[in-house]
C-alpha cells in the first residue's frame, strides 16, 4: 500500500461475549487480507457504568475504575484471541463512554468496514430499532458487517450480492462492495436478482397471460448491464448472474447457502425510514447463517478511494486460525 494512501481500519465492536470474540477473529482475517489494521471498540455509557457498580457491592467505591478495568479486560481477551490466529495483525483499541451505536458510528467515519456480532434480528426488534447492528447499519458512513455463523476467517467460497435492477443507486454501492471484497479475498461474485410474481398497477396480473420467460429474460439483461458497469473495474473477479422468481430475501438466502458472505444495499430515506433497512435487507439479516454486509446506498464506492484489481498488501501473510 502506498504511504500516501491513508489506511482505514477494520473496526469491530466487542462486548465480552463468545460471539463478539468470533466476530473479532473473523474481522482480523479480513483486515489481514486488506493489509489494514484492526480496531477493537468496547463501549459503555456512564449510566451503564453506574449500574455496574451499584449491582456489585464489593466495588461500590470503585466508581470509574471498576468499569474501566472490566472494559480493558474485554479488549485484552479479544486482542489475545486475534493474535493467537494472526500474530502479525496490527491492533488498536478504544474504550468508549458513548453508547455502542454512537461509538461504532463515529469510528465508521474513518473505517473500511465496521463489524458487529449479530444475534437474530426479530421483526419486533427491527421495528423498535433495538439492535445495535441495525442502528449502526443505518447510520454508519461505511459498509457494516453483521457477523454470524461459524466462520472465524475468510474462505474460498463466493460473495453473493443482491441486486435490484429497479434501484440502480442502491445496487451500485452493494456491487462495488461485493466486487472489492471478492477481489481482496480471491473469490468470485454471484449477483442475484429476484423477479416478483406480483405485477404493478396497470400490468397484466392474470398468471396464465403473463409471459414469465420474457420477463425473466428482460430482468437478466438488465442485471447483466448493471453488473457490467462494476465488473469492468475488477477484471480478476469472476462473476455469475442468477435471476429467479420469488421474494427477494428468499432468493438471496437460497444463493447464500454456498457463500461465505452476503452483500445487500440499504436505501433508508429520512426520519424513521432512515433507521430501517427495507424488507429485503431486513429479511436477509434475520435469516442468514453467514455474515451479511449492509452497504449504505449513499456510498458510490464504499470500500476504497482507489478501485481496481491490484492484489491487496498482506494477502500472502494470511495464516489460517490455529
> Average pLDDT, stretch 166-172?
82
What does pTM read for this prediction?
Answer: 0.80
Split at pLDDT 50, 70, 90, the class of 197 is confident
For the chain, give the mean pLDDT. Answer: 79
d(CA 124, CA 130): 9
Q: What angle do CA 321, 152, 27 make, to 5 degrees?
A: 105
> Average pLDDT, stretch 195-206?
58
> Average pLDDT, stretch 305-321?
39
- Kindly compute the dihedral angle of the four CA atoms of residues 75, 180, 314, 118, in this order, to the nearest 10 degrees: 20
Q: Is the pLDDT of residue 4 over 90?
A: no
> Average pLDDT, stretch 221-229?
94
Domains of the chain, CATH where assigned = 9-317 (3.40.50.12370)
Split at pLDDT 50, 70, 90, the class of 273 is very low
> Average pLDDT, stretch 186-209?
72
> Average pLDDT, stretch 251-258?
93
**Positions of E strands within 196-296:** 239-245, 261-266, 292-296
What cell does 62 get?
470503585
d(CA 37, CA 129): 30
b/e per residue 135-158 (b: at least 16 CB within 10 A): bbbbbbbbbbbbbbbebbbbeebb
pLDDT in tens, 61-87: 555 577 788 889 999 999 999 999 999
Q: Is the pLDDT of residue 275 over 90?
A: no
| % of the chain at pLDDT higher than 90 | 48
SS3 of residue 45 by DSSP: coil
d(CA 18, CA 16): 7
Split at pLDDT 50, 70, 90, the class of 319 is very low
SS3 of residue 66 by DSSP: helix
Amino acid at each position: 500500500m502506498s504511504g500516501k494512501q491513508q489506511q482505514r481500519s477494520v473496526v469491530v465492536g466487542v462486548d465480552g461475549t463468545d460471539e463478539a470474540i468470533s466476530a473479532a477473529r473473523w474481522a482480523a482475517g479480513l483486515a489481514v487480507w486488506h493489509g489494514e489494521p484492526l480496531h477493537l471498540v468496547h463501549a459503555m455509557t456512564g449510566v451503564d457504568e453506574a449500574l455496574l457498580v451499584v449491582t456489585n457491592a464489593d466495588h461500590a467505591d470503585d466508581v470509574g475504575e471498576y468499569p474501566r478495568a472490566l472494559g480493558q479486560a474485554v479488549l485484552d481477551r479479544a486482542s489475545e484471541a486475534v493474535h493467537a490466529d494472526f500474530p502479525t495483525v496490527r491492533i488498536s483499541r478504544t474504550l468508549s463512554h458513548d453508547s455502542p451505536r454512537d461509538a461504532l458510528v463515529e469510528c465508521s467515519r474513518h473505517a473500511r468496514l465496521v463489524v458487529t456480532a449479530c444475534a437474530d434480528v426479530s421483526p419486533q426488534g427491527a421495528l423498535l430499532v433495538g439492535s445495535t447492528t441495525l442502528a449502526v447499519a443505518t447510520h454508519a458512513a461505511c459498509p457494516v458487517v453483521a457477523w454470524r455463523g461459524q466462520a472465524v476467517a475468510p474462505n474460498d467460497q463466493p460473495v453473493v450480492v443482491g441486486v435490484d435492477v429497479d434501484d440502480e443507486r442502491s445496487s451500485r454501492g452493494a456491487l462495488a462492495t461485493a466486487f472489492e471484497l471478492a477481489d481482496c479475498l480471491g473469490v468470485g461474485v454471484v449477483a442475484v436478482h429476484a423477479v416478483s410474481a406480483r405485477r404493478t398497477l396497470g400490468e397484466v396480473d392474470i398468471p396464465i397471460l403473463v409471459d414469465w420467460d420474457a420477463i425473466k429474460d428482460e430482468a437478466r439483461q438488465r442485471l447483466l448491464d448493471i453488473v457490467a458497469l462494476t465488473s469492468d473495474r475488477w477484471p480478476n473477479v469472476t462473476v455469475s448472474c442468477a435471476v429467479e422468481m420469488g421474494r427477494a430475501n428468499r432468493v438471496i438466502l437460497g444463493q447464500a447457502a454456498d457463500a461465505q458472505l452476503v452483500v445487500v444495499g440499504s436505501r433508508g430515506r429520512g426520519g424513521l425510514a432512515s433507521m430501517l433497512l427495507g424488507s429485503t435487507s431486513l429479511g436477509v439479516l434475520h435469516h442468514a447463517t453467514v455474515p451479511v454486509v449492509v452497504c449504505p446506498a449513499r456510498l458510490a464506492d464504499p470500500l476504497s478511494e482507489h478501485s481496481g484489481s491490484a492484489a491487496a498488501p498482506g494477502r500472502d501473510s494470511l495464516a489460517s486460525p490455529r
